[in-house]
């Protein structure tokens, strides 16, 4: 399951006015008063509070951060974006080419890639050139010689 | 309920009443009895807190920082050498905007080695971004710790409550320790804030070039802090019937000479002020309770009618003099031009500041038309 | 090749490390982190000091991991993990794993005091040291984990490091903590099994992961896994586990290859001579004998 922080939307039961009983996975069990759509998974035992508006305040607090203005910055250096916007493929001076004919789907290249640049597409592996840094570990470890390293053309 | 306890014990009772969740502290004279008593409360189950027996003060503050980021209410206590050891983490705690409360029992910093009262240890941490209170009595220590949690959790900056080693920490006074339900009315559980949460993962304490913006945000919060301290003190007064303010002025409205000081020296100053008034000299006493953020408006207000100000520092910044004197001078800058500030240094290393010493200060300030160099009280001939 | 062949994932599929992180190409440390997080799962909080890992997880406002990260001061990895654990326990969240993730600098040197204290208290944390055998993040300076004969920027040739690598595993074993293991990124499945075993235990668990660094060890980036495997096959970095400071379990990956094979492909060992190799062989043999004896 690909989980993106800050963009997870769930429908969860919430029993207003009664914190309910939380099981070991953090799910609130209790009398259902309906569903609410919210962007966080509720953990009412995160912080004790006598405040009945706790949930609303907690959600409001998770405002959309950005680095565009002072007001939109969090109060301290709390990272709120993932590194997926950083295309480390730009670093490459050599690139791997995967020959699917020779590939036996053993998954060793996927396992040994430090950048998780080898992904699955259906029942085949695929190299993400957006992120591949060209280290060459995949080619070295492939038992079938299915990966070839070639110089990057720039 | 009124108890006869030392200020150290008052600290422990206050932490018990605040329902702190994680305590990490390392013993150091004269703070050790705080830690011992808290360990006792935790062991008996009176306080439902995790007590971490750390191996140094640096680790004590590191534990408080990480526990606070996870969302718990934390506490630690230390003194001179330990406070100096945690120095880098004091910056870390305030930069991460954590509501940690720490009791610092003021003690002289070595070398030479000295175990007794001296405010230089906490004052040398004045740039770390922590709020600082200086207390005069065991009751004030108890009350200030309760107020500190409210203030810290509101502005998300850590608070240091200072009490003098041995003079306060080990002397027994009557302290009213209120019932838990009264304390709960003043101090509810902490409001929600950003913290480590596996359901909303993010990274705390990252490297950043936006540093200046975060410092500015801290500055904005510090500017609001004075008002919030006032507010919480007023709220405290409503519930408990006693309040302290940011500064405590005694007979300052019509005083010609005002003695400015912090901590227990103020008690002696008030006695000498009364005596001086009996002799015809109008003396007032201004005790500074909140040091960071420095209450400039309140101080200007208190000193507005004075003709002379004598600042008694139980601290020393080599190459500069008394730290309170420096701060008072900068506060008076641009307002009452010509209000002379007479700097005195007394009581370093726990040397007793007696009423005779204060009378000498009053006499000297009265006699000299202009303030000269710093006068050191209590030196060998 | 049968195109409809199913993909076999040799290790658990779910990944908790995002692409786009700022590790060097061929970095062993980020591989170690990837495998350990596969073993621990998403209900984990990690504390990271200034180190390669601290830089890898990217600056503000980015984060390279799908779990909460707390960046803490250098010497406080173990105590910060203990602090997080204490807070989680105080708040009733006992099912969240706490991982202290430090390099060899933050473990063998500056962080040793806090680690020893946490181990003595037996705080319920998993402390993992990824060992790249020098202070790599600040530019390849020597640490007490650097082996004898290594070039680093603070032990430049000909004054290469002349003292042996500190045996942190023996130090931790003296604390009699529930679980200690050495692991290597050359054997990911073994590493993940050790992490899964550790997370079931309560108390302080210590895992030392061998993480080759192409930048600091001076080899071509694609050799990272080969070098990790060679270290174990030659006996330079044996894989073993210790439970409660007393029960030893020796891994089965040793292949009695000559240590020279491991040393000669790394530029940092350029100044090593024949007598150095003989010395190392002797040491490796003694260490292996010791481990076999302890395994009983």
Residues B72 and B111 in one domain: yes
Domain boundary among B240, B274, B307: B240
Element (H, E) at B134: strand B131-134
Is A49 at the interface with chain B, CB within 8 A? yes
DSSP-derived secondary structure letter, B246:
S
Dig out the tokens for C56 from the structure: 């890898």
- Count CB atoms within 10 A of the CB of residue A101: 9
C80:B197 CB<8 A? no
| pLDDT score for A23 | 47
Work out how many CB contacts closer than 8 A connect B with C. Answer: 146
- Out of B71, B96, B207, whose CB is closest to A47? B71
Chain A positions in Cβ-Cβ contact with residue C64 (cut-off 8 Å): 82-83
pLDDT tens figures, A13-33: 333 333 444 444 544 444 333
Confidence category of residue A1, pLDDT binned at 50, 70, 90: very low
pLDDT tens figures, B366-378: 999 999 899 999 9
Indicate whether B381 belongs to any domain.
Answer: no
Q: What is the mean pLDDT of residues C263-278?
A: 93
pLDDT tens figures, C192-234: 999 999 999 999 999 999 999 999 999 999 999 999 999 999 9
Best residue of C222, C228, C265 to probe chain A, by most A CBs closer than 10 Å? C222
pLDDT tens figures, B234-265: 999 999 999 999 999 999 999 999 999 999 99
Residues B158 and B33 in one domain: yes
Residues B187 and B271 in one domain: no
pLDDT tens figures, B172-207: 999 999 999 999 999 999 888 989 999 889 999 999
- Out of C5, C22, C221, whose CB is closest to A104? C5
C65 pLDDT above the threshold of 70: yes
| pLDDT score for C5 | 61
pLDDT tens figures, B302-325: 999 999 999 999 999 999 999 999
- Out of A47, A49, A80, whose CB is closest to B202? A80
Closest-CA distance of chain C to residue B59, Å: 6
- Out of B48, B69, B201, whose CB is closest to C66? B201
Annotate B298-320 with b (16+ C-beta within 10 A) or e (fewer): bbbebbeebebbbbbbbbbeeee
Residues B219 and B86 in one domain: yes
User: What distance in Å separates the CA atoms of residue C85 and residue A49, rounded to the nearest whole number?
Assistant: 21
Helical spans, DSSP H, in chain B: 7-17, 32-44, 57-69, 80-85, 87-95, 120-123, 138-155, 180-186, 211-240, 265-278, 296-303, 323-332, 355-367
Chain B residue whose CA is closest to A27: B199
Chain A positions in Cβ-Cβ contact with residue B21 (cut-off 8 Å): none
The percentage of residues in chain A with a pLDDT greater than 90, rounded to a whole number, is 46
Chain A positions in Cβ-Cβ contact with residue C11 (cut-off 8 Å): 111
| pLDDT score for B164 | 97
User: What distance in Å separates the CA atoms of residue B152 and residue B58, rounded to the nearest whole number?
Assistant: 21
pLDDT tens figures, A55-81: 555 555 445 788 899 999 999 999 988
* Chains touching B, CB cut-off 8 Å, 3+ pairs: A, C
| pLDDT score for A63 | 57
What are residue B59's phi and psi, to 5 degrees?
A: -70, -30
Indicate whether B133 belongs to any domain.
Answer: yes
B56:C113 CB<8 A? yes
Element (H, E) at B308: strand B308-313
Is B212 at the interface with chain C, CB within 8 A? no
Residues B230 and B260 in one domain: no
Domain at B209, CATH number: 3.40.50.970
The total of structural domains in chain B comes to 2
C222:A115 CB<8 A? no
| pLDDT score for B74 | 97
Residues B106 and B218 in one domain: yes
Q: What is the mean pLDDT of residues C147-174?
A: 94
Q: Is it true that domain A85-151 has CATH number 2.40.10.10?
A: no
A74:B191 CB<8 A? no
Query: Considering only CA atoms, which of C127, C68, C208, A108 is closest in space to residue B197?
Result: C68
Residues B235 and B103 in one domain: yes
| pLDDT score for B345 | 97
Q: What is the mean pLDDT of residues C271-275?
A: 92
In whole numbers, what is the pLDDT of chain B averaged over residues? 95
| pLDDT score for A154 | 74
Taking each helix axis from N to C terminus, what angle separates B87-95 and B211-240, rounded to the nearest 10 degrees? 90
Domain boundary among B200, B217, B240: B240
Name, in order, each residue with C-beta under 8 angstroms of C167's C-beta and a sequence gap of 6 or more. Answer: none
B202:A43 CB<8 A? no
The percentage of residues in chain C with a pLDDT greater than 90, rounded to a whole number, is 94
Domain at B272, CATH number: 3.40.50.920
| pLDDT score for A5 | 33
Q: What is the mean pLDDT of residues B60-83?
A: 97
User: What distance in Å separates the CA atoms of residue C27 and residue A3, rounded to the nearest whole number?
Assistant: 25
- Out of C91, C113, C117, whose CB is closest to B21? C91
Confidence category of residue C123, pLDDT binned at 50, 70, 90: very high
- Domain spans of chain A, in order of start: 10-72, 85-151
Q: What is the mean pLDDT of residues B124-151?
A: 97
The fourth-level CATH superfamily of domain C28-295 is Thiamin diphosphate (ThDP)-binding fold, Pyr/PP domains (3.40.50.970)
Indicate whether B276 belongs to any domain.
Answer: yes
Name, in order, each residue with C-beta under 8 angstroms of C235's C-beta and a sequence gap of 6 or more. Answer: C254, C256, C259, C284, C285, C287, C288
Handedness of CA C9, C11, C12, C14 (dihedral sign): negative
C87:B72 CB<8 A? yes
Q: What is the mean pLDDT of residues A84-111?
A: 94
Torsion angle of C-alpha atoms C100, C104, C108, C110, degrees rounded to 10: -80
What are residue A100's phi and psi, to 5 degrees?
A: -70, -20
Domain boundary among B240, B265, B298: B240
Structure-model confidence comparison of residues A113 and B372, the more confident one:
A113
C10:A108 CB<8 A? yes
| pLDDT score for B68 | 97
Annotate C9-47 with b (16+ C-beta within 10 A) or e (fewer): eebeeebbbbbbbbbbbbbbbbbbbbbbbbbbbbebbbb
Q: What is the mean pLDDT of residues B131-140?
A: 97
Residue ranges making up the domain that contains B67: 2-240
């Amino acid at each position: 399951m690909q989980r993106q922080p800050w963009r997870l939307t769930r429908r969860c039961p919430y029993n207003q006015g009664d914190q309910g009983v939380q099981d070991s996975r953090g799910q609130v069990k209790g009398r259902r008063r309906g569903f609410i759509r919210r962007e966080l998974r509720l953990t009412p035992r995160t912080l004790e509070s006598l405040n009945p508006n706790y949930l609303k305040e907690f959600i409001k607090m998770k405002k959309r951060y950005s680095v565009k203005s002072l007001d939109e910055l969090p109060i301290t250096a709390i990272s709120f974006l993932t590194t997926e916007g950083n295309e480390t493929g730009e670093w490459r001076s050599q690139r791997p080419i995967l020959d699917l004919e020779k590939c036996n789907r053993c998954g060793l290249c996927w396992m040994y890639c430090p950048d998780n640049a080898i992904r699955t597409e259906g029942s085949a592996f695929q190299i993400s050139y957006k992120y591949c840094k060209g280290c060459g570990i995949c080619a070295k470890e492939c038992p079938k010689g299915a990966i070839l390293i070639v110089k990057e053309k720039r | 309920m009124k108890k006869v306890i030392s200020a150290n014990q008052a600290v422990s009772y206050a932490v018990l009443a605040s329902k702190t969740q994680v305590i990490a502290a390392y013993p150091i004279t004269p703070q050790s009895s705080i830690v011992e008593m808290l360990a006792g409360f935790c062991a008996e189950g009176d306080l439902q807190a995790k007590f971490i027996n750390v191996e140094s003060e640096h680790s004590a503050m590191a534990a408080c920082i990480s526990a606070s980021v996870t969302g718990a209410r934390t506490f630690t206590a230390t003194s001179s050498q330990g406070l100096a050891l945690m120095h880098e983490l004091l910056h870390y705690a305030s930069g991460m905007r954590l509501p940690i409360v720490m009791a610092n029992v003021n003690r002289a910093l070595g070398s030479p080695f000295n175990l007794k009262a001296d405010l230089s240890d906490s004052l040398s941490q004045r740039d770390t971004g922590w709020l600082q209170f200086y207390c005069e009595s065991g009751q004030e220590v108890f009350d200030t710790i309760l107020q500190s949690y409210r203030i810290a959790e509101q502005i998300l900056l850590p608070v240091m409550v200072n009490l003098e080693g041995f003079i306060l920490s080990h002397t027994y006074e009557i302290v009213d320790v209120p019932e838990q339900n009264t304390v709960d009315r003043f101090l509810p559980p902490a409001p929600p804030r950003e913290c480590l949460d596996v359901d909303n993962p993010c990274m705390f304490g990252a490297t950043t070039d936006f540093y200046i913006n975060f410092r500015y945000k801290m500055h904005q919060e510090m500017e609001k802090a004075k008002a919030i301290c006032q507010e919480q003190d007023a709220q405290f007064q409503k519930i408990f019937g006693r309040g302290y303010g940011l500064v405590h002025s005694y007979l300052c409205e019509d005083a010609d000479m005002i003695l400015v000081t912090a901590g227990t020296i103020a008690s002696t100053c008030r006695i000498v002020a009364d005596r001086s008034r009996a002799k015809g000299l109008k003396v007032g006493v201004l005790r500074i309770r909140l040091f960071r953020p420095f209450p400039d408006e309140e101080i200007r207000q208190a000193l507005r009618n004075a003709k002379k100000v004598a600042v008694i520092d139980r601290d020393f910044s080599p190459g500069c003099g008394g730290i309170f004197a420096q701060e008072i001078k900068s506060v008076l800058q641009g307002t009452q031009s010509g209000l002379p500030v007479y700097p005195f240094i007394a009581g370093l290393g726990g040397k007793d500041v007696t009423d005779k010493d204060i009378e000498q200060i009053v006499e000297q300030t009265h006699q000299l038309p202009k303030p000269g160099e710093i006068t050191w009280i209590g030196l060998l001939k | 090749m049968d195109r409809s062949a199913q993909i076999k994932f040799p290790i658990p599929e779910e990944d908790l490390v995002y692409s786009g992180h700022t590790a060097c190409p061929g970095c062993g440390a980020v591989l170690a982190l990837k495998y350990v997080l596969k073993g621990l799962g998403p209900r984990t909080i990690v504390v990271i000091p200034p180190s390669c890992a601290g830089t890898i997880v990217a600056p503000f406002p980015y984060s390279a991991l799908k779990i909460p990260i707390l960046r803490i001061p250098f010497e406080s990895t173990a105590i910060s993990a203990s602090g997080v654990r204490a807070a989680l326990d105080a708040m009733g969240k006992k099912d969240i794993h706490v991982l202290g993730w430090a390099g060899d600098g933050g473990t063998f040197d500056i962080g040793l005091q806090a680690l020893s204290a946490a181990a003595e208290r037996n705080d319920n944390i998993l402390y993992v040291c990824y060992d790249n055998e020098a202070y790599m993040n600040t530019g390849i300076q020597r640490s007490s984990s650097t082996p004898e004969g290594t070039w680093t920027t603070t032990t430049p040739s000909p004054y290469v490091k002349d003292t042996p690598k500190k045996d942190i595993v023996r130090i931790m074993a003296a604390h009699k903590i529930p679980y200690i293991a050495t692991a290597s990124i050359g054997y990911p499945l073994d590493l993940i099994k050790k992490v899964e075993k550790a997370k079931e235990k309560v108390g302080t668990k210590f895992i030392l992961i061998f993480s080759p660094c192409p930048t600091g060890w001076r080899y071509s980036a694609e050799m990272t896994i080969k070098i990790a495997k060679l270290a174990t096959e030659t006996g330079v970095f044996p894989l073993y586990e210790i439970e409660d400071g007393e029960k030893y379990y020796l891994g089965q990956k040793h292949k009695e290859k000559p240590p020279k094979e491991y040393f000669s492909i790394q530029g940092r060992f350029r100044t090593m001579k024949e007598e150095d190799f003989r010395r190392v062989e002797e040491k490796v043999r003694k260490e292996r004998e010791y481990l076999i004896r302890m395994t009983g």
